[in-house]
């Protein structure tokens, strides 16, 4: 089996248009280092050594500027490009071959413990500064525009942009499926929905204010 560092290095070299050398990838790509730190932290977390797991993830954060909670589940060949300011929450899951740029948050909206962070499916791309909030799903191969705020599910192979994020281009549906990917049981759907509505309201107010100032 290929060691993960080689697999990560290969996928970064293939996906980064700067076409870095092996030396560059291994020694100067914080995204690669962050994934490896996370593997260790996640293993410690699984063994119940939570304090040590948090400390390991903290060391990774100090060295890379990328904060991944040790509980998060991350698939193969995640490419975190640039990386600084990325935050990935405890109950987030990330599939294979996902690309994440700097400043992305996979965050929660509810203060209630349990599933509260997004699921990002295989091959999705999250643009720089995108804020993906709540227990929503970003579908397979979907693209999230830079600086978007996403509080609803994103359908596979679609592109969403803006605040709140809206679907643009091919594949958009009039009424996206609500609730897809939500786990049964410990989630707080009403609380999450209320928080999502509040976030949308705040974003709309901010937009109105911007438009008012622009005259
Ligand atoms: C979202 C994205 C993938 C869309 O690319 P695309 O499919 O080529 O889409 P287009 O450029 O044709 O844009 C489609 C519409 O969305 C708008 N749009 C695109 N990106 C946007 C963004 N980030 N925020 C707001 N609106 C955006 C365009 O203005 C256009 O609007 P219009 O139809 O009213 O003219 C791309 O714009 C993006 O944001 N990529 C992330 C790149 C990134 O983070 N790079 C960091 C490198 S360091």
Q: Whose CA is nearest to atom 14 of ligand 1?
A: 168
Phi and psi, residue 18, nearest 5°: -75, -10
d(CA 49, CA 70): 10
d(CA 116, CA 118): 7
The answer, yes or no, to whether the previous bond of 166 is cis (omega within 30 of 0) is no
Cα 168 off chain centre by: 20
pTM given for the model:
0.83
- Tokens linked to 92: 């987030």
List the chain pLDDT tens, one digit each, 215 residues: 789 999 999 999 999 999 999 999 999 999 999 999 999 999 999 999 999 999 999 999 999 999 999 999 999 999 999 999 999 999 999 999 999 999 999 999 988 899 999 999 999 999 999 999 999 999 999 999 999 999 999 999 999 999 999 999 988 875 444 444 444 445 566 776 777 777 677 667 766 776 777 76
The CA dihedral of 103, 108, 111, 116, to the nearest 10 degrees, is -150
| Among 105, 143, 161, residue to substitute to test ligand 1 (most atoms within 8 Å of Cβ) | 161
Residues with CB under 6 A from ligand 1: 82, 101, 127-128, 143, 145-148, 159, 161-162, 168-169
What is the enclosing helix (H) or strand (E) of 88? strand 87-88
| Among 124, 145, 147, 203, residue to substitute to test ligand 1 (most atoms within 8 Å of Cβ) | 145
Long-range contacts from 16-24, C-beta under 8 angstroms, 24+ separation = 16/79, 16/81
Of ligand 1's listed atoms, the one at least distance from the Cα of 129 is 44
DSSP state of 128: T
DSSP lists the bridge partners of residue 131 as 105, 149
Distance 136 CA to ligand 1 centre (A): 21
């Amino acid at each position: 089996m290929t060691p993960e560092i080689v697999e990560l290095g290969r996928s970064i070299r293939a996906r980064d248009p700067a076409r870095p050398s092996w030396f560059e990838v291994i020694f100067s790509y914080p995204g690669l280092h962050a994934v490896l730190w996370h593997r260790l932290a996640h293993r410690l977390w699984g063994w119940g050594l939570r304090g040590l797991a948090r400390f390991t993830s903290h060391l990774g954060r100090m060295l890379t500027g990328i904060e991944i909670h040790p509980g998060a589940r991350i698939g193969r060949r995640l490419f975190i490009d640039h990386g600084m300011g990325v935050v990935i929450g405890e109950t987030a899951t990330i599939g294979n071959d996902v690309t994440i740029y700097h400043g992305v948050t996979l965050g929660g909206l509810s203060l209630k413990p349990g599933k509260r962070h997004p699921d990002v499916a295989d091959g999705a791309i999250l643009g720089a500064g995108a804020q993906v909030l709540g227990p929503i799903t970003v579908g397979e191969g979907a693209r999230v525009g830079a600086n978007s705020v996403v509080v609803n599910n994103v359908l596979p192979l679609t592109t969403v942009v803006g605040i709140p994020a809206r679907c643009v281009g091919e594949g958009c549906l009039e009424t996206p499926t609500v609730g897809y990917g939500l786990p049964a049981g410990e989630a707080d759907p009403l609380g999450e929905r209320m928080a999502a509505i509040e976030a949308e309201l705040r974003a709309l107010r901010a937009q109105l204010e911007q438009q008012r100032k622009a005259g």
